[in-house]
Every structure is written in structure tokens, then in C-alpha cells.
């Protein structure tokens, strides 16, 4: 018992005893068993992170930033890849429950909530980027991209574009729905008609973006494209480049997310830049919060995206002349 007290720096131990214990412990290479600590009911210093994947640079950067932010609180991230499958999400939550994780930070998969409550035990939940209703007492941090999306449409309009395509995530995702809404509103506000064939949405992925871009090109009527999804944006851009479409001339392009190479493609890719670091900081703040108070107050927060102008969003002239 004295040993225990010495190691946890309890004042009720003679200094000499304490020093001796600590010294010997070091000699023996003692490390406190996380398992024993956890078994006494305390939470583990583990935070689960559920992401669709790590190949998406946005997710990778988020994971990187969050790891760093949490390290300061002595918390460790355990990453689970869901591939946007509900089944995997459930599996991950169950494991975290078993591990008595302190909290989960998750990009919810599109499926239905079901009685996931069961899996969660009493661990704290933070939904990021997307949300799946408020039923669960989960905190939510979203990226507000309404303004930059509207700005994108307004700018393109001011450059003479009127046939603007939108390629984004499915509206079954909360993020997909809000981005699409922003685009639609933007079109209305600028007096443009919102034809159904100028909007393509689906589960977001590189290949989805690629294929959507092929469709848009096949139509041959659009003079500009706005993207509403990180991997989608990459897919669309890759399609355009592969087809030798002169981005910024034949067609104007506004991407979503800002992978480092967007600066260097052609004259730069205009895009909606996402505040990754701020998102991570806010998340860490909620999760790392030593809520001695068992307040399960659920927080709702937003971080703001920003439109970056580069060469890919140019006047429509070149293209309109061609029509």
C-alpha cells in the first residue's frame, strides 16, 4: 500500500520511503498496468476515432491534428476505418465500449441509427462533419460551408456563367444535404434556374466524382462545375485533366477541400478550403475536457470553410463562344 501511495505521489508517505520506492521501481522497469486501472472502473485514456478512411487527405490531416491536440491531455487516439459502412461502425463502437474508451469522435456513416445506444455504453460521443439527428446525446461539430458555396456560385455568375453543374455528396448525408441546399440557394439568389440535370449527388468517392464529371462532359452544356465533397472534387478534377479539358478555360472549376497540389495544377484550382486544424482543436477541447462534472452537456459547434480563388474559376467567355 505504501508503495502504491509512493508511486501515486500521495503526501502521506515519508519522503525517504517515497524516494526509495520510486528509485527501485525505476530499476525494476515498473510500469503501471493500464488494465488494472481500467478494471477499477476508471475510463481508459483512449479516444476512438471513426473515419471512412485515411486515404482522403482531409481525414488524414484531421487525424494527424487531433492526435497532436489530444496528446497534450495525455489521451490516445484509436482509429477505426468504417468505409462508410454501418456494420463496421457498430463493430468499432463495440470495441471501444469493451475498452472503456473515454469518448468517440465519429464521422457517422449514412445508415440508420438503429439502437446503437446499446453499443455506446456511456461513452461520450462527438459527431464531426456529418450528423445523424440529435436523438443520441452527442455533441456535434460541423463545417459551415454555406457562405463559400454561395460565394462560388455568385462569383461564377459574375463571370458570365449560367450553366453551372454541382457534383456533391448524397443528401442522405447531412453534409451532402446542406451543401446541396447552399448551392441551390446560391443559384436562386443569382437568378439562375436549377435544372435537375445540372445536379449530381451520390455517396461521395473519387470514382463517383470521376463518373459524374464524365456525365457532365457528355452533356456538353455546362460551363462551370462546383464540387461538394473532398474526394469527389479530386475525382472530377482528375477526369477533367485526363480528358485534356482545359480547366479554367474550357470549363471553370471550383473544388472542395484544399489538397496541397491544388495550388500547382494549371494556374491553381479554386476551391473551398476546410478548417481542419480548427475542427481538430474544437474536437479536442470537447473530448479532452476533464469534465469532473459528469455533465453530459452536448455541445454544438461550427467551424467555417472559406473560398479560395485561383486560376480554375475564370470568365465563361472562352466556352460560351464555342457553343
Partner DNA sequence: GTGAAAGCGCTAACAG
Partner DNA sequence: CTGTTAGCGCTTTCAC
Please tell me whether residue 9 binds a second copy under the rule CB under 8 A: no
d(C-alpha 235, C-alpha 219), whole Å: 18
Smallest distance from a second copy to CB 4, Å? 16
Burial code (b: 16+ CB inside 10 Å, e: under 16) for 51-80 equals bbeeebbbbebbbebbbebbeebebebbbb
Shortest spacing between CB 116 and a second copy, in angstroms: 11
Judge contact between 288 and 69, C-beta under 8 A: yes
| Residue 273 interacts with a second copy (CB under 8 A): yes or no | no
Dist CA 38 CA 25 (whole Å): 21
Per rule CB under 7 A, is residue 36 in the interface with DNA?
yes
For residue 218, state whether it binds a second copy (rule: CB under 8 A): no
The yes or no reply on residue 95 touching a second copy (CB under 8 A) is yes
Q: Which does 72 bind (CB under 5 to 8 A by kind): a second copy, DNA, none?
A: none
* Residue 87 binding DNA, by CB under 7 A: no
What would the 3-class secondary structure string for 152-184 be? Answer: HHHHHHHCCCCCEEEEEECCCCHHHHHHHHHHH
The site partner of 121 among DNA, a second copy, none (C-beta below 5 to 8 Å per kind) is a second copy
| Contact status: 67 vs a second copy (CB under 8 A) | yes
Q: Quick one: CA dihedral 315, 321, 322, 323, positive or negative?
A: positive
Of 16 and 115, which has the nearer Cβ to DNA? Answer: 16
Q: Whole-number minimum distance, CB 8 to DNA, in Å?
A: 5
With binding defined as CB under 7 A, does residue 33 bind DNA? yes
Separation CA 294–CA 164 (nearest Å): 50
* Binding of residue 113 to a second copy (CB under 8 A): no
Phi, psi (rounded to 5 degrees) for 319: -75, -45
Angle at 234 between CA 172 and CA 302, to 5 degrees: 50
Provide the residue count of the chain.
323
Find the binder of a second copy among 39, 112, 114, 299 (CB under 8 A).
39
Q: Which of 133, 172, 149 is nearest to 271 (CA)?
A: 149
Taking CB under 8 A as the binding criterion, the range among 14-22, 93-101, 172-180, 299-307 that sits at the site for a second copy is 93-101
Of 36 and 293, CB closest to DNA: 36
- Cell 440508420: give the residue: 112
Among 25, 64, 170, 267, binds a second copy (CB under 8 A): 64
> In this complex, which beta carbon is closest to DNA, that of residue 97 or of residue 249?
97
79 binding a second copy? (CB under 8 A): yes
Q: Which of 3, 5, 22, 68 binds a second copy (CB under 8 A)?
A: 68
Determine the size of the site formed for DNA (CB under 7 A): 20
Q: Residue 143: phi, psi to the nearest 5?
A: -100, 120
1 binds, among DNA, a second copy, none (CB under 5 to 8 A by kind): DNA
By CB under 8 A, tell whether 35 contacts a second copy.
Answer: yes
With 0-12 / 13-18 / 19 or more C-beta atoms within 10 angstroms meaning exposed / middle / buried, residue 220 is exposed
The distance from CA 57 to its chain's CA centroid, rounded to whole angstroms, is 10
**Can you give the binding site for a second copy, defined by CB under 8 A?**
29, 31-39, 44, 46, 53-55, 57, 60-61, 63-64, 67-68, 71, 76-81, 94-95, 97-100, 118, 121, 234, 237-238, 241, 259-261, 263-265
**Can you give the binding site for DNA, defined by CB under 7 A?**
1-2, 4-5, 7-8, 11-15, 17, 32-33, 35-37, 39-41
Amino acid at each position: 500500500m505504501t508503495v502504491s501511495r509512493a508511486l501515486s505521489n500521495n503526501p502521506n508517505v515519508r519522503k525517504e520511503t517515497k524516494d526509495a520506492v520510486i528509485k527501485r521501481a525505476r530499476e525494476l522497469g515498473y510500469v503501471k498496468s493500464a488494465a488494472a486501472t481500467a478494471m477499477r472502473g476508471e475510463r481508459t485514456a483512449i479516444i476512438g476515432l471513426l473515419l471512412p478512411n485515411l486515404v482522403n487527405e482531409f481525414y488524414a490531416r484531421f487525424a494527424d491534428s487531433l492526435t497532436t491536440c489530444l496528446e497534450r491531455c495525455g489521451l490516445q487516439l484509436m482509429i477505426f476505418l468504417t468505409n462508410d459502412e454501418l456494420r463496421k461502425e457498430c463493430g468499432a463502437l463495440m470495441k471501444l465500449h469493451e475498452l472503456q474508451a473515454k469518448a468517440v469522435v465519429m464521422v457517422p456513416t449514412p445508415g440508420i441509427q438503429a439502437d446503437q445506444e446499446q453499443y455506446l455504453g456511456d461513452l461520450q460521443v462527438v459527431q464531426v462533419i456529418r450528423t445523424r439527428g440529435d436523438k443520441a446525446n452527442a455533441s456535434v461539430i460541423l463545417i459551415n460551408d454555406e457562405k463559400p458555396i454561395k460565394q462560388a456560385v455568385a462569383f461564377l455568375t459574375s463571370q458570365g456563367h449560367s450553366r453551372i453543374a454541382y457534383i456533391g455528396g448524397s443528401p442522405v448525408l447531412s453534409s451532402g444535404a446542406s451543401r446541396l441546399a447552399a448551392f441551390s440557394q446560391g443559384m436562386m439568389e443569382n437568378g439562375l434556374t436549377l435544372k435537375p440535370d445540372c445536379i449530381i449527388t451520390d455517396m461521395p468517392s473519387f470514382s463517383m466524382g470521376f463518373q459524374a464529371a464524365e456525365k457532365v462532359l457528355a452533356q456538353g452544356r455546362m460551363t462551370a462545375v462546383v464540387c461538394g465533397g473532398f474526394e469527389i472534387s479530386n475525382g472530377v478534377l482528375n477526369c477533367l485533366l485526363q480528358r485534356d479539358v482545359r480547366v479554367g478555360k474550357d470549363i471553370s472549376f471550383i473544388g472542395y477541400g484544399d489538397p496541397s497540389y491544388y495550388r500547382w495544377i494549371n494556374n491553381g484550382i479554386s476551391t473551398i478550403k476546410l478548417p481542419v486544424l480548427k475542427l481538430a482543436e474544437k474536437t479536442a477541447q470537447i473530448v479532452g475536457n476533464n469534465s469532473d462534472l459528469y455533465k453530459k452537456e452536448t455541445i454544438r459547434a461550427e467551424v467555417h470553410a472559406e473560398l479560395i480563388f485561383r486560376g480554375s474559376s475564370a470568365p465563361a467567355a472562352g466556352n460560351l463562344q464555342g457553343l
